Structure 1
């Protein structure tokens, strides 16, 4: 275990902000575990989200061709410049990853493929994952530490499905690699973390449905998850309940089912069954 970053942060008069969810990973055992799980080669370009005090960044730079680190907190830039002064293959960018378009970022460095590694604030995990997956240039993989509860939601199976799980599993194979104790971070968070790896694939090869409509229907279904799916979809999509019941019956689903019980294939089948009804309802509401 290496020294806690408290002395370094104090030197720069830096104090972590709870509002930004700043808990810096400093334990070298777990830093190396993340790097190993990411399976980075000397040919790889890494997009690191939230480099923090630079401990993980330093380890990534030793195995990758290039590391592009995006940090939202301008107070950390002097610290990162100090820590990474000899790491010539690292570029630190001040910015919000939710406002960065990965394909434009990679184009600046003539990069055609990249991987994501991140230790991100728990409260923004879902937003970051969805942002990365909605980009016109998908990463090859995403390896990150997240709150244990969030990780377990991501690998949910039918019966416990949720919007985050559907989003992650639409674009990737998700697995929990390991669990990280709270003591590996500074300051120590109130919860344990999990190391998650998402191997990204082209959804067109797995889910044969229009992605935009797919997620519109999924969001409607989970928008009122305590209700039966027929009611949630009818309210959320403004379509006739009878059409929904017919669609559910045609794909072999119980009329009383709820969103959390559906498989990924069920959602794809439902999307295709309801496409015409949703299009008609959309045209009527806009006319």
Structure 2
């Protein structure tokens, strides 16, 4: 069970009239479903907490702020412990987390939910990588055919001139240079202004870039560790892009449950034992 606790800080100040030093606890970041009830609950239990003299709601557009005035010499930690015990400044609730997994509703714990989400992200990254790999391989195939055509430009022009139709020219190119139909069509679609030496260099550079991209994608698909690293990297990027400052604080504790001893002042006492009256 998870415990949710209101945050607070202490302010030490002196009264102008008497010069007495007093302490007040200022509650901030109250739980949403507790905010409207805290002043009433606190006033209701004022008679049970002798160290509290007043409670004020000073919340405004800048944020939540509940001020608890304490008596001089009061111990703020004990007062807060009493408020945690008697009000909903500290509360707990359970969650019924039901999700659709593999098309079926299933009740899962936090670990199962995180594992299911991680599996989903792995499948998304894998499908995306396979799609990009397929596109890169198809483009590389076309570019390789164009480079072959530019390397044998004069011969290709002669074949096109002698062909009676586009289909005949495509078949002749396939038979002459041992290329596929897609590569032959790509060669036939090249315009005259792209037959320069500079254009050939661009296709060679594109082929090199595609080879590097294909190598990275194949390495990603073959390594679960690299896939998890990519998922973590994308999560961090999303965090930096869309994150807001956290409004609550996470702390480690045993169970959040306060015992009676937590609300009892730690005072020195004198115990007198009379041997005559044990």
Quickly name the TM-score band, shorter chain normalised: under 0.3
TM-score by length of 1: 0.16
TM-score by length of 2: 0.17
